[in-house]
Amino acid sequence: MGKSIVWNQLKMPVASIVWLLSMVVIILFTFKTVPFAAYSILGLVTILFFSGSDRLAFFYYVILTVGTVFLFLVFAFRENWSPADQGMAIFLHFLFLVHLFALYSLAKYAYQFRSENYFLRERVLRLEGFLSEEGVLSGMEFEKRASFILSAMARREETGYFIRVDLSELPRSTKRTAVASVGSILHMSVRQHFDIVGKSQEGLVVLVQNTDADGLEVVKSRIDKRLREAFEERAIDKMTWTTERIEGQTAVMDEVIS
């Protein structure tokens, strides 16, 4: 398991080094007999390998391998190469195959990374709707839903409140658990399917819509009661609570979820 992880970390650098070294050696052995412009073919081959999937790169690898074998045979018979020339050609062809294999490996690893990143992005998009099973929305989803609710409240000339709790003062070892627990308490203390709870950068935020100061106090008293049942006093003291009145806003300000 450990060796597999190490190799996964090293395979891209190793393939890159082999690819570069083989290209340098090929140029050193051929620059006196091959026009410099001919080396642009190596650049075109590189672009070709990275232009598609790993299967297409493997197809190019096979075609170029077989094609160069026949090309060297044609040159050998036409130019009537000596044994020394044939030995040098075999050596250069071997270097070229090493170069191609390293290039194919790089293209394959790059394609794998692109595929894995695409899969992870899709997974994040599917999961970010809810941060946890406690009904706590992610910051992005909270902002999206809150903007819709705020626009509707502004049209109806309703008031409401943002309730924010900053949990940055809690110990790092317990912060994740605290976020889940406080999120659950907030979700249970507000009107489900009407008010929303979301994650902010340093804690949690609640949007309580269509309510006045008295309704806000009712919500805060529910939260306070459940907090004292779930947390010790010293933990509650490290939670910083703020409220902001909503009146005519149509979008969530950055400081609300920051």
Which CATH number goes with the domain that contains 190? 3.30.70.270
- Residue 207: predicted pLDDT: 92
Contact 142, 198 (CB under 8 A): yes
Beta bridge partners of 99: none
Quick count: other Cβ atoms within 10 Å of Cβ 67?
Answer: 10
Nearest of 208, 202, 232 to residue 221 by alpha carbon: 208
Same domain, residue pair 163 and 187: yes
Looking at the structure, tell me whether residues 123 and 175 fall in a common domain: no
Residue 50 lies in a domain: yes
pLDDT 10s digit of each residue in the chain, 258 long?
Answer: 456 566 667 778 888 888 889 888 888 888 888 887 778 888 888 888 888 788 888 898 899 989 988 888 888 888 888 888 888 888 988 999 999 999 888 888 888 887 777 776 666 555 544 455 457 888 888 888 888 899 988 888 899 999 999 998 888 877 778 888 888 898 889 887 789 898 888 889 999 998 899 999 999 999 999 999 988 888 899 999 999 998 888 777 766 666
Query: Is the same domain home to 90 and 157?
Result: no
Looking at the structure, do residues 148 and 235 belong to the same domain, yes or no? yes
Whether residue 27 lies inside any domain: the answer is yes
129 near 181, Cβ under 8 Å? no
The verdict on 154 and 234 lying in the same domain is yes
Domain C-terminal end among 83, 98, 127: 127
Residue 98 and residue 29 share a domain: yes
Domain that holds residue 60: 2-127
Same domain membership, residue 68 and residue 9: yes
Residue 1's pLDDT is what?
Answer: 47
Residue 132 inside a domain? The answer is no
143 and 114 together in one domain: no
Looking at the structure, do residues 16 and 52 belong to the same domain, yes or no?
A: yes
Cβ count near 43 (within 10 Å): 10
Q: How many domains does the chain have?
A: 2
Looking at the fold, whether 184 and 69 belong to one and the same domain comes out as no
Total Cβ atoms within 10 A of residue 25: 15
pLDDT for position 239: 92
